[in-house]
Amino acid sequence: MNTKTLLILVLILLLIATPAEAQCAMCRAVLESEEGGQAAKGINNGIVYLMIFPYLLVGGIGFAIYRSRKKARAENSL
């Protein structure tokens, strides 16, 4: 896959992302009892924000492996 195709694929995946709501059972029970729901919204956003980092780490490691294998393959073909 060349760089242009990969960039287009990443942009498409970023544009079609859907919002997600996430809560543990205890947080949900406590926050549903409050009026207004502003705290619940904040907790949801915080949980989703924290879940980004494991995916970034796995993606970064995968990219590093891909790049090193591509470099090794290019050196072997010379």
The pLDDT assigned to 35 comes to 74
Least confident of 8-12, 15-19, 60-64: 15-19
**C-alpha 14 chain-centroid distance:** 10
DSSP 10-27: HHHHHHT--------HHH
Band (pLDDT 50/70/90 cuts) for residue 1 is: low
Residue-wise pLDDT for 16-60, tens only, equals 877 766 667 777 677 777 776 777 778 778 888 888 999 999 999
